[in-house]
Amino acid sequence: MSLKKILIIDFGSQFTQLIARRVRELGVYSEIISHKKKINFSNKDIIGIILSGGPLNVYQTKKVSFDKKILNQDIPVLGICFGHQIISKELGGKVKQSKFREFGLVNIKKNKESVLTKNFFNRDGKNNVWMSHSDQVTKLPKNFEKVASSTNSKFCIIQNKHKKFYGIQFHPEVTHTHNGIKLIKNFLFFICKSKKNWSSKKQKEKIIEEIKKQVGHSKVICALSGGVDSSVVAKIIHKAIGKNLICIFVNTGLLRKNEEIQVVKTFKQKLKIKLIYVNAKNLFIKKLKKVNDPEKKRKIIGNLFIKIFEKYSKKFQISSI
């Protein structure tokens, strides 16, 4: 049975991963999907939807795709920044370019009580929040009401209590917004009626058990770049299968100074994981010489890394990750 979850629609915000982190820190499972993908509502496991911020304008119709079924599922929706604007636009409100762009800390004031803002405002009905927008909602959709405003943004927080649609012009997920986590908490537990169903410890234990079942007594090769992602994967696999894990660490020469020494020392001495070290930094630097385009660099690094890893992994007739 799949977990009840909060679905986060990503419109390209630099804070999207942070939204997911905040939700999970509150003990609720969340997933991120691109705004370009269609959503499967048939499983009934989505109990709330958060629309992220983003760098685009809601009227850039060729670049912005939005599944309008989201607003017809009887599921609570919270729009943040760009998400706030797209809810307003899709439901008949108006969004225009602001005369004054708001970026940084902005003081907002409460205009109306809301379940979303319980324990969010100070005693004087005000709060400092983190803004980052050049467009703003100028006309509310039908049946929406204003909950909070700032000097330059008339509709900082809006709501349709009947539909359980909420819009926030600022970013509650960042620490700069005072009490921002309380907005997210209120949305999860009072509006979506979420129950705590996730923790990093339980997730780790689940993954370890799944690896044990899948691998059994076989051996596994894991590619290491020295970064966080592959290192965490290696440690979890090692926790599951122990000595049956072999790591191939390909030094691309693109790590910080002496970091490759630290990686080798950590895996061999501290974690006691079998490690094969491949010093390929000269080859990577040679391939990247005179290449200025970042995307071309990324492809060169990725393709060469895979090529070297496959070369060394062929020495072992076992599974690879």
pLDDT tens digits, one per residue of 5-50:
999 999 999 999 999 999 999 999 999 999 989 898 988 899 999 9
Domains 5-191 and 200-320 share a fold: yes
Instruction: Break the chain into its structural domains and give their ranges.
Output: 5-191, 200-320
CATH number of 5-191, picked from 3.30.460.80, 3.40.50.880, 3.90.1280.10, 3.40.462.10:
3.40.50.880
Which is the catalytic residue, given 35, 81, 156, 247?
Answer: 81
pLDDT top residue among 172 and 135:
172
* 156 assigned to active site: no
φ, ψ for residue 241 (rounded to 5)?
A: -120, 0
CB atoms within 10 A of CB 182: 17
DSSP E strands in the chain: the ranges are 5-10, 30-34, 46-51, 77-80, 94-110, 126-139, 145-149, 157-160, 165-168, 220-224, 245-251, 274-279, 319-320
Sign of CA dihedral 117, 120, 123, 126: negative
Which is the catalytic residue, given 35, 84, 133, 171?
Answer: 171
What is residue 1's predicted lDDT score, i.e. its pLDDT? Answer: 53
* 222 assigned to active site: no
Which is the catalytic residue, given 84, 102, 173, 260?
Answer: 173
* 81 assigned to active site: yes
- The per-residue pLDDT for range 206-223, each reduced to its tens digit, is 899 999 999 999 999 999
Mean pLDDT over the full length of the chain: 92
Pairing of strands 46-51, 157-160: unpaired
Q: What is the mean pLDDT of residues 223-240?
A: 94
CATH superfamily ID and name for 200-320: HUPs (3.40.50.620)
